[in-house]
Amino acid sequence: MLVVDALHDSRIIFSVRANLSSALLPALKQALIIVAAKSQAGGSPQLVWKLQSASGWAGSYEHRPEIVWGFCELMDQIQRFNGLTDAFEREMPGLLNSTVRIDSISAKCTIYTILTGLISTIWHRHDTFIVNDSVLGEVVEELVHSIRTRTITFGYIAPIRDFRLRGTDNVTFPNGVRIQRLRENEATRLYGGLFPVFKTSFHPPGQFAFTGEIEQHFAIGDEPLPPASLRALVSAGIGTAEEVMMSHKAGRVLHDWISISFAKPSPTGTLNMAIDAGPRPAKDVYELTEADVPQIFDRFKSITTAEFPALSTACQRLADSERRTNAVDALMDAVVGLEMLLLGGRDREGLRFRFALNYATLQSDASPTTRRARFHTAFDIYKVRSQVVHAGVLPDKVFKIADERLAIGDVATMAKEMLRTTIDALLALQVPAGAGEREVWFDNFWETGYFGLR
């Protein structure tokens, strides 16, 4: 075990022939002693979150190390680690004191950033500076791999609001996004610490979070770097998972905010990046059960590889509609999603009639009575959409939808369910495999439905 102790050596001796890993290990041990001692001495009361089985999260103040003071002390003593330079020059000439670039992030790589990157990884993973040699060896090898492959691994955590997962503790989507329980040290890092008032929320919004890792290549100096947006990749990955869940069953799926940091040691030191949360609608718990998971996976694959035009975009509109706090906005998003699926092509004549007719005949095996009822429902939904666009809506106004009279919020709920079932119906279609045959099939899709030929 590494034990924090008093410092006696004025410098650290490195073997001239040592490879990078064996040179880093004693340096990391000594740097940990320096950082741990100063962090403990500079500790202060900090907000810590603990998960109570019955009541959820409970916060209290505890005296904890402050790693910033430890890193300041390491900077003051960084000359003691100059012996690492030779090992780095042999393994990766030109890396030290050069600018490392990845996406919009750039930082100079120095002995200091390398050591702080290793130490912050240990602290975030284990919530302590006292670790055994296997932990030290693990992070050192991760850093060496990062340098040799010129890759940096980012990790993200996005706590999910008002969400429940039953029958299983985690779900991993095909794109690598994972739903798992929020750990106590993660909750403290995201919502506690010295300045909790500056966090996005005052407390963890639930017990689960979206998590994952993304590996990206870095460039040194002026080397060319392929364009890639880390923020966009993370947001898109989580967004796709949310859209699939909301297309599977009604309800909102929302993350509070996204925290991005280095999942493995980086030669550029530490990183704390955040992507802001979305709007905060009224509380509405979304629940997944173990039985939902296989269906979610099937839906994910179907949506992300969908053959039917505009299906992916329609799913995005459904997710937008579920997140809306304003019923008119929710209705508009849902109807736009339906328009994308039901009104393909450039013909803009008779939109309301074609919208209703296509919705009615999508279920080609339904009885004439059912198809007529579907026609009238869609016809009236589109009429309401036009009314609220051109004339607005009064809070107490009710709308005729087929044989019902509904408030605008109920109309929006109906439109969302119509969009969800339309997506289901299109995903269930057997699309021809050949490109030419598939194009003809799409061109004639609605017409063949009108005459019962589909």
pLDDT tens digits, 281-311:
656 789 999 999 999 999 998 888 877 778 8
User: Which token pair is 13?
Assistant: 């001796």
Residue 317 and residue 244: Cα distance in Å, rounded?
A: 12
**Looking at the domain assignment, is residue 287 inside a domain?**
no
pLDDT in tens, 110-134: 999 999 999 999 999 999 999 999 9
Please state, in angstroms and rounded to a whole number, the distance separating the CA atoms of residues 69 and 75: 10
Distance CA 434, CA 452 (A): 23
- pLDDT score at 119: 98
Q: Is the pLDDT of residue 395 over 90?
A: no
Range 377-388 average pLDDT: 94
Residues 322 and 266 in one domain: no
First and final C-alpha spacing in the chain = 71
Give the distance, in angstroms, between the CA of residue 319 and the centroid of all CA atoms in the same chain. Answer: 15
Q: Are residues 321 and 444 in the same domain?
A: yes
CA–CA gap between residue 333 and residue 322 (Å, rounded) = 9
Which SS3 state, helix, strand or coil, does residue 410 take? helix
For 47, 54, 146, 201, 267, the CA distances from 197, given in Å and listed in that order, are: 10, 25, 35, 8, 31
Regarding whether 322 and 255 lie in a shared domain, the answer is no
In a domain? residue 360? yes
195 falls within a domain:
yes
Cβ proximity of 416 and 407 under 8 Å = no
* Pair (120, 245) in one structural domain: yes
Whether 387 and 245 map to the same domain: the answer is no
Are 68 and 107 found together in one domain? yes
Does residue 227 sit in the same domain as residue 322? no
- Please give the pLDDT value at position 11: 43
Mean pLDDT for the chain?
88
Q: Do the beta carbons of residue 20 and residue 146 sit within 8 Å?
A: no
183 and 101 fall within a common domain: yes
What's the domain range around 200? 20-275
Across the chain, which distance is largest between two alpha carbons, in Å?
90
> Do 331 and 263 share a structural domain?
no
Structural domain includes residue 288 = no
Q: Do residues 85 and 197 share a domain?
A: yes
* DSSP letter assigned to residue 197: G
Residue in 214, 229, 190 with CA at minimum distance from that of residue 105: 229
Give 349 or 67, the one with higher predicted confidence. Answer: 67
Position 244 in a domain? yes
Query: What are phi and psi for residue 174, nearest 5 degrees?
Result: -60, -25
Domain assignment present for residue 252? The answer is yes
Beta bridge partners of 187: none
Total domains, the chain: 2
The pLDDT of residue 391 is 76
Mean local confidence (pLDDT), 68-86: 94
Same domain for 246 and 365: no
Residue 14 inside a domain? The answer is no
Residue 47 within a domain: yes
The Cα–Cα gap between 319 and 30 comes to 51
Same domain membership, residue 389 and residue 244: no
Both tokens assigned to 170: 């985690």
Q: How many residues does the chain have?
A: 454
Say whether pTM exceeds 0.75.
Answer: yes
